[in-house]
A and B are shown apart, each in its own frame.
Chain A
């Protein structure tokens, strides 16, 4: 990091001429420094932190994507604050440019970090384990003993014991034999797989956003049919960026029935819809062959590339309006539950008078039946629901007559009437009554409104995401890589077998002094134990262990060329480098060496 280019160009070229190469160089230097900065571990950390902070409003504030109604409520409750938050994108956090900027930068950083790391790793796998450090006693784990075998035999025995390790045997002057062993390269592989899977995961999610879609539709459970023939078939539709609504797989289904069971306290016990469906091939053959399926929560219907879900259910009271001239109109639309526990529902069934051709006349005589519906009514004047099943249905309705405002061009909820029309006096209440099935109201002009019975409706969702399987595979690879990288320990083990002599006296009468050293390069526990076992087998007589890592001692071995760089390296100086974790000395196992 210190040998950045601006210094170099200033120093080498004397007074810097405003020449092109100089400027180019400086631009290059800037680019390179920016790149280095972006791909540094510290930047990654800060970006991760930003990502977490940026996602937080998505948990605290209602979001448009999963819950648009909650956003509307929030606007109602905080009329001054909400628009400000809205301008900042706080109700659509995960679609905002700033959120995208953070994760895109993070992924650029990730790729910029991974590519060099992968290359280095490949290189590292092919090179021999590093030579034995000159002074093994300075390593966090070390042991010394004597053996009656000669150095060759000692090393050969160690080699046999270290099956599965990568091993290199070398000679040093004076008949000294050394062995270097390494294990745990899978950790790095795991780390790479993990990070690459993250990139793949993001790619899969993006593909889903581009080519997937999601649509909701409410279908009466009376044999009504739904066909996936286009956007218009849905009540709401959320297309991917590359989906224009044409070319959907045209499967069809009908909902023949719906069953809900509840426990005595009103908690739902099971939901099930009987559906029949024709997949795309059957629709195109047109042979009228339908397959049956029980659609239940947690058990979607998977047809071709689409999945059909049972999202919810509710009730639709059926009203028959008999006009004074004897003509009848049936109103059957879904009312929406306002209380999930008792399925008390509200809604507005809107009816156009039959046979009225005059527009003004029609606007004076439209009808709306609006109010509350209780599947199990409490009885009494004020209708409330005490149980979600259809045990004692009752509606409490207002009948309104006048202009429903359906032609005003404004979007209107199917669950309520246009309050503007009521306030302007263009829609007037003409009756208010509680009705049980079969009961009816007679209006002032002789029109009769009868509450016939109740129909179930189900709310279905159709989802399509062609990249979903790829995302799952990426997630599995991610978890595998992560587990490897957090559980595999990278460790080194060294043996130096020195013939006993004047320089290296044997403490016993053995012929060979055996020195062992070990270094764990990761944070994981347990090398102390493993080293202890190895030492007990390979240098059984007199073992000792440093106990705690002593970074000061290892730090002083810098000038020793035989010491591998991760022992010698000045930790803070290299640690900001991408590959630092692989390079620096890491040995936290001292505490484990309590002899058990």
Chain B
């Protein structure tokens, strides 16, 4: 199995560039927040879909495949000129798209360099999760440009995770151990990556929901959250993301069990990784139940969703780095 070091080098370079671009995008989004002088007006804009849709046009100018014109002066009611804040926000989005492109290229290059799917170790796995999270975020933006102001909060965890991936978790391009050499690596890990990325978005939305809801019950508190979309919108984003990711996560757990049957001799053995995956699954099932139980719908459901994401992160870091499980080729016990 040939490992192309030159390509691997390119992958590292792309990773660094993507991270830098994300940081820049986050800064631009933060400037947008800072420039929003009149939070009240901003809120209204974000909450009324028609106004927001008109004002924001398309959130992703310059995206390949974006065919909606970026300009909005196609007749219609007269609209105030684009504010400075908005210009910064839109630049933030453009950079996010650029970062996503570099990030995607990084994983593709890495895959070619190692001649396998690019999620064979924690570095690649974390990078792939972040890619899915940013991708999911761009999909949300495309459908709901008025949510643009969440950009800072989506990019923040992505940047933190990628920073950790690039420093603590960094691994040179290499083929995987025999235990991982199976088509189940592609199936099981892809599903886990996709679910985790989308759940990251859901977790961010639920966190913001909690802050925003606290502000809505007592407007004196957390005044800055008035620049965010309304609590109901945040709740809906969290729910839809979770409802989409949950079956994918279920699929990931099931295919993991099938793989474990072929690799370790049993489909379920309460290995730390399996246990934590199960705990996360149960927590998210709890979230979906809470959404249809009176008295649990709003804040409690959001707390459960945040707990769910905390368990996912715990699974990624603690279980991989601290607890020793079967996730390496085991010798005799």
Residues of A within 8 A of B (CB): 41-42, 44-45, 48-49, 51-52, 55-56, 58-60, 62-63, 65-70, 93-94, 205, 214, 216, 218, 263, 265, 267-271, 296-300, 307, 309, 311-314, 334, 336-337, 340, 459, 461, 463, 465, 468, 471-472, 475-476, 478-479, 482-483, 486, 523-525, 547, 571-572, 575-576, 580-581, 588, 591, 593-596
Contacts and interface: CB of A to CB of B under 8 A. Distances in A.
Contacts of A66: 269-271, 325-326
Pick the 9 closest A-B CB pairs, nearest first.
A575-B294, A594-B49, A581-B292, A59-B275, A312-B331, A52-B282, A309-B265, A48-B286, A298-B182
Interface in B26-55: 49-50, 52-53
A45 B332 contact: no
**What is the interface of chain B mostly: helix, strand, loop, or mixed?**
helix
Interface stretch (B77-85, B101-109, B220-228, B255-263): B255-263
B254 A475 contact: yes
Interface in B242-286: 243-244, 246-247, 250-251, 254, 257-259, 261-272, 275-276, 278-279, 282-283, 285-286
B282 A55 contact: yes
Nearest to B244: A486
Contacts of B257: 475
A591 B331 contact: no
Contacts of B233: 591
Given A307-B265, A478-B250, A580-B294, A44 B289 contact: yes
Contact of A459 (B182, B276, B279, B332): B332
B99 interface: no
Contacts of B50: 594-595
B66 interface: no
Contact of B275 (A55, A69, A591): A55
Given A58-B275, A594-B50, A336 B332 contact: yes
A216 B265 CA distance: 10
A52 B285 CA distance: 10
Given A300-B262, A340-B328, A482 B272 contact: no
B189 to A, nearest CB: 14
Interface string B1-26: 10000000000000000000000000
B75 interface: no
Given A55-B278, A340-B329, A588-B236, A214 B266 contact: yes
Given A66-B271, A471-B267, A479-B251, A596 B53 contact: yes
Contacts of A214: 265-266
A263 B175 contact: yes
A523 B330 contact: no
A351 to B, nearest CB: 22
A303 to B, nearest CB: 14
Given A311-B265, A479-B247, A486-B246, A571 B294 contact: yes
Interface string B198-226: 00000000000000000000000000000
Nearest to B183: A298
Contacts of A337: 331-332
Given A269-B178, A482-B246, A595-B50, A463 B293 contact: no
B276 A297 contact: no
A300 B243 CA distance: 36
B240 A525 contact: yes
B179 interface: yes
A312 B329 contact: yes
A547 B48 CA distance: 9
A297 B292 contact: no
Contacts of A313: 331
A267 B295 CA distance: 54
B296 interface: yes
B49 A591 contact: yes
Given A49-B304, A307-B261, A311-B332, 16 more contacts: A48-B285, A59-B275, A59-B319, A66-B271, A267-B174, A340-B329, A459-B331, A459-B332, A472-B267, A479-B247, A479-B251, A482-B246, A572-B295, A576-B293, A576-B294, A588-B239
Nearest to A334: B332
Nearest to A218: B332
B282 A48 contact: yes
Contact of B329 (A297, A472, A596): A297
Nearest to B262: A298
A69 B250 CA distance: 31
A463 B260 CA distance: 12
Contacts of B70: none
B131 interface: no
Contacts of B263: 297-298, 309
Contacts of A478: 250, 254
B168 interface: no
Contacts of B258: 472
A41 B246 CA distance: 20
B265 A575 contact: no
18 contacts: A65-B269, A66-B271, A214-B266, A269-B178, A271-B178, A299-B262, A312-B331, A337-B332, A461-B265, A478-B254, A479-B247, A479-B251, A482-B250, A571-B294, A575-B292, A576-B295, A588-B236, A591-B144
Nearest to B52: A594
B329 A268 contact: yes
B250 A479 contact: yes
Nearest to A589: B236
A547 B50 CA distance: 10
Contacts of A59: 272, 275-276, 279, 319, 323
A463 B283 CA distance: 31
B161 to A, nearest CB: 20
A340 B179 CA distance: 14
A307 B279 CA distance: 29
A70 to B, nearest CB: 7
A31 to B, nearest CB: 24
A472 B253 CA distance: 12
A235 to B, nearest CB: 9
A55 B182 CA distance: 29
Contacts of B264: 309, 311
B290 interface: yes
Given A59-B272, A312-B329, A41 B293 contact: yes
Nearest to A263: B175
From B1, B250, B269, B333, residue with most partner A Cβ within 10 Å? B333
A591 B243 contact: no
Contacts of A571: 294
Nearest to A594: B49
B262 A65 contact: no
Nearest to A93: B270
Nearest to A49: B286
A575 B296 CA distance: 10
A475 B255 CA distance: 10
A218 B270 CA distance: 23
A42 B286 contact: no
A218 B331 CA distance: 11
Contact of A312 (B282, B286, B324, B332): B332
A591 B246 contact: no
Contacts of A465: 266-267
A311 B289 contact: no
A455 to B, nearest CB: 15
Contact of B178 (A298, A336, A476, A595): A298
Contacts of B266: 214, 463, 465
A483 B247 CA distance: 6
Contacts of A595: 50, 53
Given A269-B1, A594-B50, A58 B246 contact: no
Nearest to B273: A59
B8 to A, nearest CB: 14
Nearest to A41: B293
